């Protein structure tokens, strides 16, 4: 036994899973309401009985799409993000703000709107929480292949930041290098590029989850935090 091993707790692969949990909410106050997010303040009771105050943003969630062509080049947009005062390199993405819209349908719509593209092969690349210490946003990144041209939905108009963004393509290998060098920092592109690289070298893209795979962490979150 190596020094320090006695203090470690080892778990099996089956135990590496995020578990839904919700501490009792004593009170909840809406501090501010925006067009997309709501700023909330909750007083919650910890398991030891301590009451703590937590402030966070409620976010409806989002989907992003890592598009790969036959030569492993990635479709990207460069979009201004005001909170960080940067024009970021990102995969196409959109908010899940249409009531009842299927996750995959939302991703397909966003890809057509932002890139004028469709795809014949869709897989779930990765699911994650973008900033769980301060926001409830849950994200699903799809891998889309078999790329073809697609028209944007009828009536769609680019506004705000979307009106100024441009679309580019880059090799997946270059994108991974840009992530590891710290040259790109959007969480969707960081998580998506690294996940795609791992998938490519570990079982291949066809081993990924199907496009209609369950998203239990999001469903549990919706039940726990959806404002009235």
**Residues with catalytic roles:** 162
Angle separating helix axes 172-180 and 187-201, nearest 10 degrees: 120
DSSP letters, the chain, are --TTGGG-----GGG-------PEEEEEEEEEE-SS-EEEEEEEE-TTS-EEEEEEEE---EEEEEEE-TT-EEEEEEEEEGGGTEEEEE--EEE--STT--HHHHHHHHHHHHHSEEEEEEEEEEEEES-TTTB--EEEEEEEEEEEE-PPPTT----THHHH-EEEEEEHHHHHHHHHTTS---HHHHHHHHHHHHHHHTT-GGGSEETT---HHHHHHHHHH---
DSSP, res 14:
G
Helices (H), 97-152: 103-115
């Amino acid at each position: 036994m190596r020094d320090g091993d006695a203090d470690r707790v080892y778990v099996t692969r089956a135990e590496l899973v995020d578990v839904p949990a919700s501490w009792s909410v004593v009170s909840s106050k809406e501090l501010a309401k925006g067009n997309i997010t709501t700023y909330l303040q909750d007083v919650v009771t910890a398991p030891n009985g301590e009451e703590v105050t937590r402030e966070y943003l409620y976010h409806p969630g989002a989907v992003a799409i890592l598009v790969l062509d036959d030569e492993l080049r990635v479709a990207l947009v460069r979009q201004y993000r005001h909170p960080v005062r940067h024009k970021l390199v990102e995969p196409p993405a959109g908010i899940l703000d249409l009531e009842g819209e299927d996750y995959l349908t939302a991703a397909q719509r966003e890809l057509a709107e932002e890139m004028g593209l469709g795809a014949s092969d869709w897989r779930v690349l990765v699911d994650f929480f973008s900033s769980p210490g301060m926001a409830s946003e849950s994200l699903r990144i799809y891998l889309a292949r078999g790329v073809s041209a697609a028209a944007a939905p009828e009536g769609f108009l680019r506004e705000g930041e979307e009106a100024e963004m441009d679309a580019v393509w880059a090799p997946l290998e270059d994108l991974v290098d840009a992530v590891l060098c710290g040259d790109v920092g959007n969480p969707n592109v960081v998580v998506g590029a690294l996940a795609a690289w791992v998938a490519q070298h570990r079982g291949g893209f066809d081993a990924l989850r199907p496009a209609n795979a369950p998203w239990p962490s999001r469903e549990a979150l919706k039940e726990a935090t959806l404002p009235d």
